[in-house]
Amino acid sequence: MSASANQSRMEIQVEMTSSLRVTVAGALIDEGGNGIGRASVRAVMEDQQVSSARTRGNGRFVIVFDVPSHLRGGDRTLTISYAGEGAHSPASARVTLAMGASVDADGELQREPTQAPPAEVQSTLTARASESSPVGGSVVELTGTLVTASGQPLPSVGIEVLDPSGEAPDSYTVTGDEGSFRTFYEVPAEREGQLRLTLRFAGAPGYAAAESIVNLAVRVVEVAQPDPTPSEPAAEGSSPSATPEATAEESTPLVTSATPAPDTPAETEPDPISQWLMGGMLAAGGSALLIGAAIAVGVIRRKDRPRDEDFSLFDER
C-alpha cells in the first residue's frame, strides 16, 4: 500500500493479531526510489498518536503497538505519516483496521453484537375529501399532509390514490414544501353506495410508508320524467270517472299557439269628391221626397174641399 506526496512517498503493510496488536512494516522513499533514512514517522489512530519510529538507512521501518482499550471495537483509521524534512516533502499512508471485536479485562477478544440497521422514521399521512357524499360522475378534491412522528413535513414525495379497482393514475400527486398535497378524484358515474379510497405514501430511504383511508357515500340523483298514471278501474255499474281523452289531456302538456286572424282590409276614408256627390244625391233625394209629399197633401186637401157651387163665403143661407 503506498501514498505519494510531492517528492516523497510511503509504503506500508499492516497486520493485526486477535489480541489487537498491530505491526506496521513500511518504507519511506524519495522520488528517485532511494530510501530516506533517519526520518521520524508516527502512527495515529483517530487523531491520537499511538506509536512512532525512525527509519533505517534504507528508509525502512517497523512499528508495533497495541490498540488502546478505548479505541477497540468497530472500524478505526490508522495513519502513518512523515512530516517532511529538508529537501524531502511530507508523505503519509493510511489503512482501516476492521476490528469488529473488543477485548475484555483478561485480554480476550469479545465479538461485538451485530448492530441492527437504523430504524426508519415513522411518518403520518392524513387525508380528507371536499365532500363526503358526492354524486356519481362528479369530481372530489382530496387534500392532506405528510409529516414525521415529530411533526416535521416530508416534501417532494409521491402520494398515490387507490380505489377498489386499483390505482387511479390521474390522481397521483407530490407533496409541497410544507408536506401538504392536493389532488382530484373522479367518482365513477355508475357507482352507488360506499366507496373506499386509500391514499398511500410508499416510503422513502429512512422513512416508513404510511397511508390514510377516505370513505365516500356516493349517491345517485334521478331525473324526474313524466309518467302517466293509469286511472283506477271504475266500479261495476258506475260510469268511469274520466274518459281516455281526458286522461290524455291531463298527462300531455298543453301547447297553445296563436292562430293568425284573417287579414281585414283597412277601412279607407272616402275622398272629398265622393263625399260631395253622396251629399248631393242625398239632398236631391230629400227634395224629391218633400215635393212628392207636398203634392200628395195638396191633392188630399183639394179632394176634401167642397165645390164652388156648394160653398160661398157670403152664403146668406
pLDDT at 124: 93
The residues that bridge with 234 in the sheet, in sequence order, are none
Q: Give me the pLDDT at residue 72, please.
A: 85
Q: What are the beta bridge partners of residue 240?
A: none
Which domains are present in the chain? Answer: 2-104 (2.60.40.10), 123-218 (2.60.40.1930)
pTM: 0.37
Residue 118: predicted pLDDT: 58
| 291/267 Cα distance (integer angstroms) | 36
Question: Kind of pairing, strands 40-45 and 193-201?
Answer: unpaired
Tally of residues, the chain: 317
DSSP annotation of 189 reads: T
Instruction: Find the mean pLDDT for residues 37-52.
Output: 92
Total Cβ atoms within 10 A of residue 124: 17
**Residues 127, 146: contact at Cβ < 8 Å?**
no
> How high is the pLDDT of residue 313?
43
- Give percent above pLDDT 90 in the chain: 36
Of residues 64 and 242, more confidence is placed in 64
- Average pLDDT on 7-12 reads 88
Q: Do the Cβ atoms of 157 and 201 come closer than 8 Å?
A: yes
Q: CA-CA distance, 314 to 78, in Å (whole number)?
A: 194
The predicted pLDDT at position 234 comes to: 52
**Mean pLDDT for the chain?**
76
With contact defined as beta carbons under 8 Å apart, do 128 and 111 qualify?
Answer: no
Q: Name the pLDDT band for 169 (thresholds 50, 70, 90).
A: confident
110 neighbors 101 (Cβ within 8 angstroms): yes
Model confidence at 247, pLDDT cuts 50, 70, 90, reads very low
Contact between residue 109 and residue 75 where contact means Cβ atoms under 8 Å apart:
no
State the DSSP code for 204. B
Cβ-contact 88, 68 below 8 angstroms: no
Over residues 179-224, the pLDDT tens digits come to: 999 999 999 998 899 999 999 998 887 788 999 999 999 998 876 6
* Burial class (CB within 10 angstroms; exposed 0-12, middle 13-18, buried 19+) of 208: middle
Q: 16 CB contacts (<8 Å, ≥6 apart)?
A: 22, 23, 67, 97, 99
Lowest-confidence region among 19-33, 66-80, 267-281: 267-281
For residues 134 and 270, the model is more confident at 134
Residue 163's pLDDT is what? 94
C-alpha span between 74 and 96 (Å, rounded): 10
How far apart (Å, rounded) are the C-alpha atoms in residues 273 and 282? 14
